[in-house]
Structure 1
Amino acid sequence: MTTVWKHEGLRGLYQGVTPNMLGAGASWGLYFFFYNAIKAYKKEGKLETLSATEHLVSAAEAGAMTLCITNPIWVTKTRLVLQYNAGIDPSKRQYRGMFDALIKIYKTEGIRGLYKGFVPGLFGTSHGALQFMAYEDLKLRYNNYRNRVSDTKLNTVEYIMMAAVSKIFAVSATYPYQVVRARLQDQHNTYSGVFDVIGRTWRKEGIHGFYKGIVPNVIRVTPACCITFVVYENVSGFLLGFRKGNN
Structure 2
Amino acid sequence: MIKHHRKFNSCCLYLYSICHLNDGRTATVPRYDGLSSAFVTIVKKEGVRGLYRGVTPNVWGSGSAWGFYFLFYNAIKTWIQGGNARTPLGPGLHMLAAAEAGVLSLVMTNPIWVVKTRLCLQYSEEHVADNKRYKGMVDGLLKIYRTEGIRGLYRGFVPGMFGVSHGALQFMTYEEMKNRYNQYRNLPIDIKLTSVEYLTFAAISKLIAAGATYPYQVVRARLQDQHRTYNGAWHCITETWRHETWRGFYKGLKPNLIRVVPATMVTFLTYENVSHYMLRPAADIKLPS
The two structures have a TM-score, normalised by structure 1, of 0.94
* In 2, Cα distance between equivalents of 1:83 and 1:212: 19
Residue 94 (structure 1) shift: 1.2
1:20 to 19, 40, 58: 58
1: CA distance, partners of 2:229 / 2:170: 32
- 2: CA distance, partners of 1:138 / 1:112: 39
Q: Which amino acid aligns with 2:146?
A: K
Distance apart, 1:240 and its partner CA = 1.1
1:130-149 superposed matches below 5 A: 130-149=169-188
- Aligned equivalent of 2:204: 165
Which secondary structure state, in structure 2, belongs to the residue aligned with residue 85 of structure 1? coil
Partner of 1:62: 101
In the alignment, the residues of structure 1 paired with residue 279 and residue 94 of structure 2 have an alpha-carbon distance, to the nearest angstrom, of 22
Which residues of 2 match residues 6-45 of structure 1 at below 5 A?
Answer: 6-44=44-82
- 2:276 aligned with 1:237: yes
Amino acid at match of 2:41: T
The one-letter amino acid of 1:20's match is N
Range with bigger deviation, 151-160 or 175-184? 151-160
1:157 alignment partner AA = V
Which whole-Å CA distance do the structure 2 matches of 1:141 and 1:70 have between them?
33
Q: How far apart are 1:183 and its partner, in Å?
A: 0.1
Query: How far did 1:245 drift?
Result: 4.6
Greater RCO (Cα-Cα under 8 Å, separation 6 or more): 2
For 1:226, the equivalent position in structure 2 comes to 265
Q: What residue in structure 2 maps to residue 175 of structure 1?
A: 214
Confirm or deny: 8 A CA contact 2:88 2:179 kept in the other structure: no
The alignment covers a number of residue pairs equal to 243
State how far apart, in whole Å, the 2-side matches of 1:214 and 1:122 are.
20
Letter aligned with residue 171 of structure 2: F
Cα drift, residue 86 of structure 1: 3.6
Match of 1:2 in 2: 40
Instruction: Give yes or no for contact 2:222–2:236 (8 Å, CA) kept in 1.
Output: yes
TM-score normalised per structure 2 = 0.81
The aligned counterpart of 1:154 is: 193
Inter-partner Cα distance in structure 1 for 2:42 and 2:83: 55
Query: What is the rounded CA distance, in whole Å, between the counterparts of 1:220 and 1:112 in structure 2?
Result: 29
Residue identity in the other structure for 1:228: T
Q: Does 1:105 align with 2:130?
A: no
Percent identity for Structure 1 against Structure 2: 59
- The C-alpha deviation readout for 1:112-154, integer Å capped at 9, x for no partner, is 0000000000100000000000000010111122232222110
Higher helix proportion (structure 1 or 2):
1
Q: Distance in 1 between matches of 2:70 and 2:105?
A: 10
Q: Where does residue 48 of structure 1 map in the other structure?
A: 87
Retained in 1: the 8 A contact 2:159–2:220?
A: yes
Alignment equivalent of 1:81, drawn from 120, 130, 133: 120
Shift in Å, 1:242: 5.9
Q: Which runs of 5+ in 1 are unaligned?
A: none
